[in-house]
Chain A
């Protein structure tokens, strides 16, 4: 019966999704002429090869030398970086972010195909590419301007503190599939690269003020100037307050989210061949949550509610030097500090310093890039339900990589070979090679294939931790038995999880205004973390004496995943652009020798089908109308039903300097769950329908 309703829902969705463009077509067909009032023109496709120019207005004022290097022959023929990249890459542009109405990075990521983005609570997200999603998802590398923001504690990303001035983001590059050769460990299932604008492109002032039913308040100010010749700077401050989401019954949860942040960026053209960039940010905020932690005294499972405190700062400098048109190098150094106190769970204070160098040059038919890096990260933890032994540890990571793109046939066939070699103190040397072929039979079609190996090196939670999961009252295990504690212990000999990935992709532009990007993959995983049942013993500390039901981390799971993603972008009219995405994913885990009862759980924690359709219209009278429909399949392993949501944004520019936008989110239901939790039992909450009004003023 459940199956039947599912089928029905699926079919209904298909009808809807097909009906949408068809209903829109008559107007598209008749409306050949552009309404005269629409002055703005839209690019039909992100143009990442015009790197700095991606921000619309900046092209106009680029120096002449740069203008001369921009490939412009109608978009279809432009061999921009994306269309000639042998990877499954999707670029979310500033324009996409603006028109989606997203006020945070995780919400913007919902636009990318192949990603599972689920909001667990008001301030927690579970985000992964091509499977293995959970709150502590650990196979996705996330970087902001080249600074890695995953925590070595569990090799995942804490999304509640990853933010910046949204208007200053140039683009977000989302790479599905391993990016390990260039980016290193942890880039197993994907890489997210958040790139902010050059300070030259953010001159002048910008003020943002908004309020809404869920996003209660948002205020931000940015100002950019040129204090000296060849130096451009900008600074910003931002504050927001988000309301609680809802519990399943409709009552308010306690997962509000408040954060203040400030930062700067300076770009200095030190000489004709040298550029130096500095940026820094600091933030402080509070994240509310309710969670259940085990306790050995009544009531055994204790529910805690309160605010976690998060704060941090980073400083990043980068120097680029151009030796010649064929050769350039980059040297980067950053320092990053994070402090996080989660009620009942743990406390973590971490300092990271990272130094990296890379050199890129052409030599005959070769386009070679190599580099090396060193990262040291020191932390100090305070125990709660999760405890680390030792409490404090310093982790060193050394890495080197080389990649060569060889032109076999000019403008037709390229092959790329590369490998990364990395050393960490737990598993020693790790090698992550990849081979890619790129075939461009003509300027409209691109075909690529790749095979690569990637690893996830152990995080502290894998080799240093004990996690207390649940406490059982006396007598639960039989008459007269004492209280019991179910705990998981990490493994000193934890191995790296490995992936062999095979990918195939096709991009085409059947018409100058339409582009299609399809990618498929088969991933073979081994040594995936399992939680093996251990023995039961008597533990006397912490008091009172209790039975300890032991579970041990192991590497006994293996499995595979396959699937694909498709993106269609069409500029129906100068004033109307639509984009459709479809993602399919299937994960098959094997029990093997593992006794982990949840060995197959990963099969059902990601949506099998995801569909998104966005429509962006520039209407007369400087009005923009944007629609966004999303269907996300059910997560049967987490008892989360499928959902179908719609967002609407209406933008209006009454005068040149002012933008007013009204965004309605999740309009089809009052609330719906998107994910659930395990292990660390944070109470999941449900996403609610909301309305948000925003003013953006340039001054």
Chain B
């Protein structure tokens, strides 16, 4: 027993050198790593986008044919990455394939069935939403003013989990039908007509 107490795991000089190296290492790491990794959050949000297509009924005119794909358009900086495409590549909703597009210009928005407006476009949000008004397009966004600007589904964070709010007025206006199952999962359903 005494023996154990007496022997320090490492020779002091080596230990100190190790400790010093470790401190240096850690502080340098802290110095150089920046930004927050929000990857998981956006993987989950991408998952929601894909799932939304299953709970929304578009009018028949929204598709050219019965096998036409459902188009998800990401407007602005893409937070999801290529893996989103890979993941939904082989998935279908009601026999329709899912196609993902990425655009940065207003005129490129269509054709689309679901439009996600990235946080990078907060400043242009009202303009973008106005562009797709009364069209059979489900709009999804995240900004505080998204619903007020006439958006349909807004992501919100609750206890660290991704939830969403549905704007019934926008749904009525667009002509798409959000199924009741999805409405039941929503944190809130608001009825907010566009302001202005």
Q: Is B18 an interface residue (CB 8 A)?
A: yes
- Inter-subunit contact B86/A41 (CB<8 Å): no
Q: Which of A560, A568, A588 contacts B26 (CB 8 A)?
A: A568
- Inter-subunit contact A43/B37 (CB<8 Å): yes
Q: Is A56 an interface residue (CB 8 A)?
A: yes
Tell which of B40-48, B103-111, B116-124, B145-153 binds the partner.
B40-48
Q: Is A63 an interface residue (CB 8 A)?
A: yes
- Inter-subunit contact B88/A60 (CB<8 Å): yes
Provide the bound-state CA to CA distance between A224 and B12, in Å: 57
Q: Is A70 an interface residue (CB 8 A)?
A: yes
Q: Is A5 an interface residue (CB 8 A)?
A: no
In the assembled complex, how far is the CB of residue A412 from the closest CB belonging to chain B, in whole angstroms? 15
With A70-B162, A72-B160 as known contacts, state yes or no: A21 contacts B39, CB within 8 Å.
no
Q: Which of A61, A204, A580, A588 contacts B47 (CB 8 A)?
A: A61
Interface string of A39-53 (1 = CB under 8 A from B): 111111001001001
Provide the bound-state CA to CA distance between A213 and B6, in Å: 48
Tell which of A106-114, A465-473, A508-516, A527-535 binds the partner.
A508-516
B27, closest chain A residue (CB):
A510
Provide the bound-state CA to CA distance between A511 and B55, in Å: 39
Provide the bound-state CA to CA distance between A7 and B11, in Å: 10
Provide the bound-state CA to CA distance between A580 and B48, in Å: 35
Query: In the complex, which residues of chain A have a beta carbon less than 8 angstroms from the beta carbon of B11?
Result: 7
With A17-B21, A72-B40 as known contacts, state yes or no: A63 contacts B51, CB within 8 Å.
yes
Provide the bound-state CA to CA distance between A203 and B30, in Å: 40
- Inter-subunit contact A75/B37 (CB<8 Å): yes
Query: In the complex, which residues of chain B have a beta carbon less than 8 angstroms from the beta carbon of A72?
Result: 40-41, 44, 157, 160-162
Tell which of B76-84, B129-137, B166-174 binds the partner.
B76-84
Query: In the complex, which residues of chain A have a beta carbon less than 8 angstroms from the beta carbon of B50?
Result: 60-61
With A60-B43, A62-B47 as known contacts, state yes or no: A39 contacts B32, CB within 8 Å.
no
Q: Is A541 an interface residue (CB 8 A)?
A: no
Contacting residues of chain B (40-70) with chain A, CB-CB under 8 angstroms = 40-41, 43-44, 46-48, 50-51, 54-55
- Inter-subunit contact B39/A572 (CB<8 Å): no
Q: Which of B4, B18, B83, B160 contacts A56 (CB 8 A)?
A: B83
Q: Is A394 an interface residue (CB 8 A)?
A: no
- Inter-subunit contact A59/B51 (CB<8 Å): no
Provide the bound-state CA to CA distance between A61 and B24, in Å: 42
With A59-B43, A70-B44 as known contacts, state yes or no: A656 contacts B86, CB within 8 Å.
yes
* Interface size of A as a range: 35 or more
Q: Is A25 an interface residue (CB 8 A)?
A: yes
- Inter-subunit contact A570/B87 (CB<8 Å): no
Provide the bound-state CA to CA distance between A65 and B32, in Å: 38
In the assembled complex, how far is the CB of residue A659 from the closest CB belonging to chain B, in whole angstroms? 13
Q: Is A28 an interface residue (CB 8 A)?
A: yes
Interface centre among A32, A39, A43, A64, by most chain B C-beta atoms within 10 angstroms, is: A64
Q: Is A58 an interface residue (CB 8 A)?
A: yes
- Inter-subunit contact B86/A68 (CB<8 Å): no
Q: Is A78 an interface residue (CB 8 A)?
A: yes
Provide the bound-state CA to CA distance between A58 and B28, in Å: 34
In the assembled complex, how far is the CB of residue A44 from the closest CB belonging to chain B, in whole angstroms? 4
Provide the bound-state CA to CA distance between A240 and B10, in Å: 43
Q: Is A586 an interface residue (CB 8 A)?
A: yes
Provide the bound-state CA to CA distance between A25 and B29, in Å: 8
In the assembled complex, how far is the CB of residue B97 from the closest CB belonging to chain A, in whole angstroms? 13
Query: In the complex, which residues of chain B have a beta carbon less than 8 angstroms from the beta carbon of A68?
Result: 161-163, 185
- Inter-subunit contact A61/B91 (CB<8 Å): yes
- Inter-subunit contact B32/A572 (CB<8 Å): yes
Interface string of A245-264 (1 = CB under 8 A from B): 00000000000000000000
With A61-B87, A588-B4 as known contacts, state yes or no: A514 contacts B163, CB within 8 Å.
no
B80, closest chain A residue (CB):
A60
Interface of B is mostly: helix
Query: In the complex, which residues of chain A have a beta carbon less than 8 angstroms from the beta carbon of B21?
Result: 14, 17-18
- Inter-subunit contact A74/B37 (CB<8 Å): yes
Q: Is B180 an interface residue (CB 8 A)?
A: no
* Interface size of B as a range: 35 or more
B162, closest chain A residue (CB):
A72
In the assembled complex, how far is the CB of residue A479 from the closest CB belonging to chain B, in whole angstroms? 44
Q: Is B196 an interface residue (CB 8 A)?
A: no
Provide the bound-state CA to CA distance between A42 and B33, in Å: 14
Q: Is A375 an interface residue (CB 8 A)?
A: no
Q: Is A77 an interface residue (CB 8 A)?
A: yes
Q: Is A326 an interface residue (CB 8 A)?
A: no
Query: In the complex, which residues of chain A have a beta carbon less than 8 angstroms from the beta carbon of B34?
Result: 32, 513
In the assembled complex, how far is the CB of residue B78 from the closest CB belonging to chain A, in whole angstroms? 9
Provide the bound-state CA to CA distance between A67 and B49, in Å: 11
- Inter-subunit contact B25/A67 (CB<8 Å): no
- Inter-subunit contact A572/B47 (CB<8 Å): no
- Inter-subunit contact B40/A75 (CB<8 Å): yes
- Inter-subunit contact A71/B33 (CB<8 Å): no
In the assembled complex, how far is the CB of residue A5 from the closest CB belonging to chain B, in whole angstroms? 14
Provide the bound-state CA to CA distance between A612 and B90, in Å: 39
In the assembled complex, how far is the CB of residue B41 from the closest CB belonging to chain A, in whole angstroms? 4
Query: In the complex, which residues of chain B have a beta carbon less than 8 angstroms from the beta carbon of A73?
Result: 41, 157, 160-161
In the assembled complex, how far is the CB of residue B44 from the closest CB belonging to chain A, in whole angstroms? 5
Q: Which of B9, B36, B82 contacts A512 (CB 8 A)?
A: B36
- Inter-subunit contact B29/A203 (CB<8 Å): no
Provide the bound-state CA to CA distance between A7 and B35, in Å: 40
- Inter-subunit contact A60/B29 (CB<8 Å): no
With A72-B44, A203-B90 as known contacts, state yes or no: A511 contacts B30, CB within 8 Å.
yes
Query: In the complex, which residues of chain B have a beta carbon less than 8 angstroms from the beta carbon of A275?
Result: none
Query: In the complex, which residues of chain B have a beta carbon less than 8 angstroms from the beta carbon of A14?
Result: 14, 17-18, 21
- Inter-subunit contact A21/B87 (CB<8 Å): no
In the assembled complex, how far is the CB of residue B34 from the closest CB belonging to chain A, in whole angstroms? 7
Provide the bound-state CA to CA distance between A469 and B128, in Å: 82
- Inter-subunit contact A64/B48 (CB<8 Å): yes
In the assembled complex, how far is the CB of residue A444 from the closest CB belonging to chain B, in whole angstroms? 13
Query: In the complex, which residues of chain A have a beta carbon less than 8 angstroms from the beta carbon of B160?
Result: 71-73, 77-79
In the assembled complex, how far is the CB of residue B165 from the closest CB belonging to chain A, in whole angstroms? 13
Provide the bound-state CA to CA distance between A14 and B21, in Å: 8
- Inter-subunit contact B87/A57 (CB<8 Å): yes
In the assembled complex, how far is the CB of residue A222 from the closest CB belonging to chain B, in whole angstroms? 15
Q: Is A314 an interface residue (CB 8 A)?
A: no
Extra contacts, 9 of them, besides A59-B44, A60-B46, A64-B48 (Cβ < 8 A), are A11-B17, A18-B24, A40-B82, A60-B47, A70-B162, A73-B160, A74-B41, A79-B160, A572-B29
26 example contacts (A-B, Cβ-Cβ < 8 A) are as follows A14-B21, A18-B21, A28-B33, A29-B32, A39-B82, A56-B83, A59-B43, A59-B47, A59-B87, A60-B47, A60-B50, A61-B47, A64-B47, A67-B48, A72-B40, A72-B41, A72-B157, A73-B157, A74-B36, A74-B37, A203-B90, A510-B30, A511-B33, A513-B36, A562-B4, A568-B29
Top 6 nearest A-B pairs by Cβ distance? A73-B160, A60-B87, A513-B33, A39-B82, A72-B41, A57-B87
